[in-house]
Amino acid sequence: MTIETGGYTEKQLLRMIRQWVPRERVPQKVRIKDTADFFRVDYDDVVVLDGVPFFVRNNEREGRFGLEDEPKFWVKRSINLVTGGVKVLKWVFWERFSARIGDLVFECVRSPRKEARILELVRGRPDFMQGETVPDSTGNPLRILDYIRGKTLGEAILTLGADHQEFFYRYYPALLDEFIGVVEAIRFLHESGEKHGDIRRDHLIKDSATGRYRWIDFDFNYRHGASRFAYDLFGLGNILIYITGRGDVTTHRLLRDDPDVLNRLSEDDVNIVFHNRVANLKKVYPYIPDSLNRVLMHFAAGAPVYYDDTRELLEDLGEARDELFDNVK
């Protein structure tokens, strides 16, 4: 097997590594690895993609399914040895599984082709991660992604304000504006016929370079039913409830901290899927405007109607934003 070296010698690569890496991190020897199998590519290896050498660092990690910081062996941080830019290399990792939400089971796939397609679609947009797709040595689509420095939405929210009321009046209006922006981004995807597929708060990173949230990780796809985008909308609703409550307001937390409020809740007031999370947040925080709470209630167990698309959600969010800004003036 011939490994692509891009014409670089070991000496040249070592010189390039020294340019971007502190002296104590420079390896004694450079190993150029084939790109076909991510399990064979380790820390300190070099892979050459489309003629460009990348110095491989750690595997990326992700909390998922209740397991925090699970290493993703097919996703490796790296340094572009020509530019010094930090990139995330995402190898092909085929995965097909049944996702379960409550009693409902639906088919999901992890599709590198989908992510490659969307990367092309969103090229240049500040609200999506950026990157390009190149073939690995067997022709499979390997994605080279820009590394985004910044906090996820979930991390950012919890530190704002001394309590919910201060958070709500001082920080929430700007947050709602940012949320409307990220929903607009999803609207763009949907109107282009694509789903995000895995909408959750840790898939939104506030890029410290631009100050704007970017959607990341769009390689998941789910087998939809009558409504193509309903599951994406469900994800957006969960994020909205999370940011409005400054974290999830759970029935468990209310039982412990505020049992009177818990007693005022009915079974209609909880999240339609996650019954331990409160959706009717006005019953917990009475200063939440009616128009905003009406949006939240579309994701509640007692909702008589649901959003069909992002356009409907954005219309209601616009109204909620206007009322909110009138209130805080």
Q: Which chain residues interact with other proteins by CB under 8 A?
A: 101-104, 106-107, 109, 111, 113-114, 193, 221, 223-228, 230-231, 234, 272-273, 301, 303, 306, 308
Name the residue nearer to other proteins (CB basis): 147 or 306. 306
Phi, psi of 158 (to 5 degrees): -65, -15
Name the residue nearer to other proteins (CB basis): 14 or 301. 301
Task: Please count the helices (runs of H) and the strands (runs of E) in the chain.
Answer: 10, 12
- The rounded distance, in Å, linking the Cα atoms of 79 and 56 is 7
- Closest separation in Å from C-beta 197 to other proteins: 9
Name the residue nearer to other proteins (CB basis): 177 or 191. 191
Q: Nearest-CA neighbor of 93 among 119, 68, 116, 75? A: 75
Decide: helix, strand or coil at residue 312.
helix
- Helix 230-244 crosses helix 172-191 at what angle (to 10 degrees)? 170
Name the residue nearer to other proteins (CB basis): 150 or 235. 235
> How many angstroms separate the Cα of 88 from the Cα of each of 18, 43, 206?
20, 13, 17
Decide: helix, strand or coil at residue 71.
strand
- Closest separation in Å from C-beta 295 to other proteins: 15
- Closest separation in Å from C-beta 219 to other proteins: 9
- The rounded distance, in Å, linking the Cα atoms of 286 and 157 is 20
- Closest separation in Å from C-beta 60 to other proteins: 22
Name the residue nearer to other proteins (CB basis): 152 or 238. 238
The four Cα atoms 89, 91, 96, 101 give a dihedral, to 10 degrees, of -10
- Closest separation in Å from C-beta 277 to other proteins: 13
Name the residue nearer to other proteins (CB basis): 20 or 222. 222
- Closest separation in Å from C-beta 133 to other proteins: 15
